[in-house]
Amino acid sequence: MALINQLPDSQLIRLLKEDDEAAFAEIYNRYAKELANFTASKLFSLDDAKDIIHDLFVTLWEDRKQIHITSNLKTYLFTIARHRIIDKIRKNVTREEYALMLQSLTKVQHPDIEQQISAKELQQTILQSLDQLSPRVREIYQLSREKHLSIPEIAAKLQLSEQTVKNQLSTALAHLRKSLSGIPVATLIWWLS
């Protein structure tokens, strides 16, 4: 049998379908660098490019029995890479659009009277909700959210187990979530900014 690096792509594909790891390694050696350069040229992040190529070859190995290549292997691999690049760009655009939308919602230069009233009402709702908690739960919440102590720090300070602190904090947050469920999202975003 000829050396693996001298075999044509069609034979490498056949061997790949027969679980030949050397054939897979040769396909990787033949095309990974060129695919990585192509992918990196289309994306701003080298890490994203590496992830795409890594995932492409993992999928090639995992799906080796089912692959059906109608063109040549190089075209097949570049087509898969191109589709993954497009998917990555779409995800990034969606994230960026969402971040810009959130940023525009939070950057209110001059809050109007209505927003100021809503903020005061929100503050009152939060204070009333906290007053409904038991003293220990309220104390744990305040140490976590206002004093910015970690769960281990709170546990040590109050001589409680970390699990107890987690449970009490979960209780406080669930209670607050329920209290704030009727407040419009725009008011919450403005208040948090």
How high is the pLDDT of residue 97? 53
Q: Which two tokens stand for residue 186?
A: 């725009």
Q: Which of 89, 105, 121 is the last residue of a domain?
A: 105
Identify the CATH number of the domain in which residue 83 sits. Answer: 1.10.1740.10
64 shares its domain with 52: yes
Q: Indicate the range of 34-38, 54-58, 123-127, 157-161 predicted with least confidence.
A: 123-127
> What pTM was computed for the model?
0.49
How high is the pLDDT of residue 21? 93
- With tokens 């971040």, the residue in question is 99
CB-based contact 42:85 (threshold 8 Å): yes
167 shares its domain with 137: yes
79 shares its domain with 127: no
pLDDT, one tens digit per residue, over 80-120 is 998 888 878 777 655 555 555 555 545 544 455 665 666 66
Q: Which of 105, 124, 157 is the last residue of a domain?
A: 105
81 shares its domain with 161: no
Residue 13 has pLDDT above 80, yes or no: yes
How high is the pLDDT of residue 109? 47
CB-based contact 39:49 (threshold 8 Å): yes
96 shares its domain with 122: no
Does some domain include residue 180?
yes
pLDDT, one tens digit per residue, over 132-151 is 889 999 899 889 877 888 88
Distance CA 185, CA 177 (A): 12
146 shares its domain with 183: yes
CB-based contact 26:9 (threshold 8 Å): no
CB-based contact 39:85 (threshold 8 Å): yes
56 shares its domain with 122: no
How high is the pLDDT of residue 114? 60
11 shares its domain with 31: yes
pLDDT, one tens digit per residue, over 155-189 is 999 999 999 999 898 888 788 777 766 655 555 45
Identify the CATH number of the domain in which residue 125 sits. Answer: 1.10.10.10
CB-based contact 37:77 (threshold 8 Å): no
Number of structural domains the chain divides into: 2
82 shares its domain with 119: no
Residue 165 one-letter amino acid: V
Residue 26 has pLDDT above 80, yes or no: yes
165 shares its domain with 148: yes
17 shares its domain with 96: yes
3-state secondary structure the chain: CCCHHHCCHHHHHHHHHCCCHHHHHHHHHHHHHHHHHHHHHHCCCHHHHHHHHHHHHHHHHHCCCCCCCCCCHHHHHHHHHHHHHHHHHHHHHHHHHHHHHHHHHHCCCCCCHHHHHHHHHHHHHHHHHHHCCCHHHHHHHHHHHCCCCCHHHHHHHHCCCHHHHHHHHHHHHHHHHHHCCCCCHHHHHHHHC
State which residues form the domain around 130.
Answer: 109-192
Distance CA 147, CA 80 (A): 50
Output 5 or 95, whichever has higher pLDDT. Answer: 5
Close Cβ partners of 4 (under 8 Å, ≥ 6 residues apart):
12, 22, 23, 25, 26
Q: Which of 70, 105, 140 is the last residue of a domain?
A: 105
Does some domain include residue 2?
no
18 shares its domain with 97: yes
Does some domain include residue 12?
yes
The proportion of the chain whose per-residue pLDDT surpasses 90, expressed as a percent, equals 31
